[in-house]
Amino acid sequence: MSEPRRICVVTGGRADYGLLQWVMHDIRAAEDLELQLIVTGSHLEAGFGMTADQIEADGFRIDARLPLGLEADGPGDTVRAMARCLTGVSEALETLRPDILLVLGDRYEILAAAQAALIHGVPIAHIAGGDTTEGAFDESIRHALTQMAHIHLTTNEISARRVRHMGAAPDRVHVVGSPGLDQLRRLPLLEREALEKALGAPLGARNILVTFHPVTLTADLGQGEFGALLSALDALPGDVVIWITRPNADPGHRAIEEALDLWARDRPNVRVFASLGQLRYLSLMAQVDAVVGNSSSGLYEAPSFGVPTVDIGDRQKGRLSAASVIHCAANAGAITAAVEAAFQLDCAGMTSPYGDGFSAGRIVQILRDAPPRETLLAKAFHETSE
């Protein structure tokens, strides 16, 4: 029997881990594949919930831990964190010697990991290429990852077409859906009473789930937009309980966190969490009356729960969205009106445009069937007329 194909997964935070979890599970369960795991970024920061502990609690062995030192969050700090990630992943690849590096999305630490793999001659499989988010530098990072990748695992046909337009050979481009929807199908969610116990607080008569990340292509990194969101939340009736998760580790997150802490201090209907983890987060999403903010989870997962989303500003601009998503300008009046509209929106029977919850199995089969390293590494720009 031949040696298992070594698949090295890199995860840098709660968002990509939530999408990768069942892919990792199915790789680990396959006799002909071997899972290797590099954990970096906000997973190893106490301020972001030290979510590496949750990865281990889920039963995964971490082969390499690469702390990046995310105490400061200016552009220079982010570049230095990328440099540390580049060096750390390079050293990990020398030890682990994977056959394929599997990455997801558009994070700056994932770009660094892919750069290291490229120089080491490790083929790259990239999930979610071709998606668009015009309001963040993530857009450029995602397309750069597409150009470095050798296997493209896209979430929908529109994104697959974009990847082909960027020169990828059609036989390297696969539509697998979003693996985040596998969570909804395979993770037993908490019922209301158990969820309240896990949260340590009761749900309200009405509830909204809020996540707002920095907007990295604006001069103030989204601070003005976040201020508008807080003003809109202040206009909500007192019976609405506001559940907020802290922002990701992009430049500008500390200013948003400071504004959030100051605003939430004297508001008894506000609950703030560094990280809810996938079980509590998705269980809460299933119970709330609306998802509000600029996180991709409002576009990926919320429609499958029949929960409306208020998508604020341009951070997710261009991303494929269901009819349950209300896009609004980043000013207080528009946000207030959108939330009020969301409370009235009937989303029963809504489906996500990102697949059917069986993505992990498709991804594992593609990794299993992929040609040898030498064949994967040989790339040519493919002209297309579609």
141 and 251 housed in the same domain? no
32 and 127 housed in the same domain? yes
197 and 285 housed in the same domain? yes
**Helical residues (DSSP H) of the chain, grouped into ranges:** 14-29, 52-57, 75-96, 108-120, 138-148, 157-165, 180-186, 192-199, 223-234, 253-264, 277-287, 297-300, 332-344, 359-369, 373-377
196 and 306 housed in the same domain? yes
191 and 96 housed in the same domain? no
pLDDT at 221: 87
For the record, the structure tokens of 322 come out as: 């269901």
Domain count, the chain: 2
Residues of the chain short of pLDDT 50, as ranges, are none
254 and 143 housed in the same domain? no
Q: Which domain holds residue 297?
A: 185-344
The CATH number of whichever domain residue 281 belongs to comes to 3.40.50.2000
**Amino acid at the residue 304:** S
125 vs 103: CA distance, rounded Å: 6
Give ∠ CA 243-244-246 in degrees, rounded to 5.
Answer: 160
pLDDT at 272: 97
287 and 315 housed in the same domain? yes
64 occurs within a structural domain: yes
Q: Report long-range pairs for 14-17 (Cβ below 8 Å, ≥24 apart).
A: 14/42, 14/43, 14/48, 14/49, 14/51, 14/275, 14/277, 14/278, 15/105, 15/107, 15/248, 15/295, 15/296, 15/297, 16/104, 16/105, 16/107, 16/110, 17/43, 17/51, 17/54, 17/55, 17/278
351 occurs within a structural domain: no
25 and 49 housed in the same domain? yes
Q: What's the pTM?
A: 0.92
363 occurs within a structural domain: yes
164 and 49 housed in the same domain? yes
386 vs 380: CA distance, rounded Å: 18
225 and 336 housed in the same domain? yes
For the record, the structure tokens of 332 come out as: 């207080």
